[in-house]
Structure 1
């Protein structure tokens, strides 16, 4: 790999002169600078980004850390993040997996947006103590270098549960998300609180994982246990769509035998027949706000924690209880 030493040797100048020229410093004459840049091009010189970042202490790159990229959820969220960082002259990289956590201590990025259960709270607080700027979208963390931009999961889950109860249901299935998911835990807590206020509700949990296959399995179990109209709250739309797919292979009909609601209002939810009830919010706005808050943190501005609010989208019924 070509270094600035190689350029300096061929140009017959010092290493510091090459460094000045490559960085556009006025300390080097135009003639010398042009000569050095021509040699660098000839040798296919690529700057050492890590060394440059350590010297300048900035990369103009933001990292978005996600647990995974599966499902239909992430596209709008990442688009919002990208738009937010680009407005301020930053670029966005998307990361997943334990090894990518090293980008923070190695200062390969200027800050991080966290929607990744593989980070422990202790790890993030350690990074924050070292001065790294973070925005969390999936947990409560109290630290001057950490800002929270959280979805109002409890309000959404309360709306969903009340919607099903107001339809007259007294038997409620809830298909959960992963145990380590902050969003799932928040939604489930709100469901239990809402159900606890209503007498004579039969409440049944089915463990899921936010993936379509979990909804299919849950639908199979509910069909096997069916004894009359029931309500089902899938804690995200992916699982609700999976349940739709399974029930389509049976004699049971969504909106008549089984009233179903999801959470996230992904695009395909609007095309189901009957239309899936769900909890809506702007994923693009959530991502954009997270990136904007992070850039304010990096700039040293004061920021308050933010919350993304939700609304109920009612589904279509094809029968009455």
Structure 2
């Protein structure tokens, strides 16, 4: 790899002169700068971004760490971040996987937004202790260099369960996300608390993974067990995200068209994905602004980087009811 030493040798100048010229410093005359840039081009010189960032102590790049990129959830969230960061002169890179974690200690980014369960909280705390600026969306982590921007999962889960209870259901099913998911754990805790408070209701847990396919598999199992069917009382299911609820609906529409959504099955999701609004009948769900969530996370991170005071933020939710099908609702 070509270095500035190679450029200095060929151009017949000092290393510091090359460095000044490459960075547009007026200490170097236009003629010398032009000669150095020509040599750099001839040698196919590529600046070492890591070395430059260590010297300047900034990269103007923010990393957002996600567990994975599957599903339709992340688009609005990332767009909200990008809009804020672009105004501040920062670029955004999206990372996934444990190997990408080293971007923080190697200071290849100026700060990070975390929505990645593969990050251990102790690991993040150690980075914060070393001065790295972090915003977490998926855990509670208290440190001067960390800000929490959390979704109000408990309120959303309570709204979802109460929605089903209002329809006279006392035997409820809850389809969770991955075991390590902070959001799923909070939703399950709140759903369980509401059911226990009612006293005469029960909650059966179905393990899922937030993906459409797990919703399809769950629907097949519940049909086989007779929980979902065209006869008897309608089933009541709270899916912890819309992806799984949509998977259930697609399976039933393809394989059991005699089972009518909103009549034989009362279903509610979480996230209010755009696709949910096009379902017939409309899927009941818990709504919040993913774009706003991303924007607030980016704003808080910028404040941390600039040394400004920040407060813990919470993203509030609301209920979207399913449309009527005859005398029933979804």
TM-score range, shorter chain: over 0.9
1:201-232 Cα distance to aligned partner (Å, 9 max, x none): 13211011101111112112222332521210
- Pairwise mapping of residues 33-72 of structure 1 onto structure 2 (< 5 A)? 33-72=33-72
Find the aligned partners of 1:245 and 1:52 in 2 and give their Cα distance.
52
Deviations 1:159-209 (A, max 9, x none): 111111011111111001111000000111110111111122132110111
Q: Match for 1:241 among 225, 246, 252?
A: 246
Q: State the 1:62 CA deviation.
A: 0.1
Correspondence list, 1:8-27, <5 A:
8-27=8-27
Unaligned runs of 5+ in 1: none
**Alpha-carbon distance in structure 2 between the residues aligned to 1:157 and 1:102:** 35
Structure 1 position 42, deviation (Å)? 2.3
5 Å matches for 1:4-153?
4-153=4-153
Name which of 231, 237, 240 aligns with 1:232.
Answer: 237
For the 8 Å contact 1:256–1:317, the answer to whether it is kept is: no
Consecutive unaligned residues of structure 2, counting only runs of 5 or more, are none
Deviates more, 1:264-273 or 1:38-47: 38-47
Q: How does 1:298-317 map to 2 (within 5 A)?
A: 298-317=305-324
The alignment partner of 1:225 has SS state of coil
Shift of 1:275: 0.5
CA distance in 2, matches of 1:316, 1:201: 25
1:292 corresponds to which residue?
299
**TM-score w.r.t. length of structure 2:** 0.95
1:257 aligns with 2:264: yes
Residue equivalent to 1:179: 179
Shift of 1:319: 4.2
Deviation at 1:318? 1.7
- The RMSD of aligned alpha carbons is 1.1
> Can you list the C-alpha shifts for 1:282-307, whole angstroms capped at 9, x where unaligned?
11111111111101100100000111
TM-fit CA distance, 1:70? 0.1
Q: Using the alignment, how far apart are the partners of 1:208 and 1:51 within structure 2? A: 44
Deviation at 1:320, TM superposition (A): 4.1
In structure 1, C-alpha distance between the alignment counterparts of 2:107 and 2:140, rounded to whole Å: 24
1:147–1:294 Cα contact (<8 Å) kept: yes
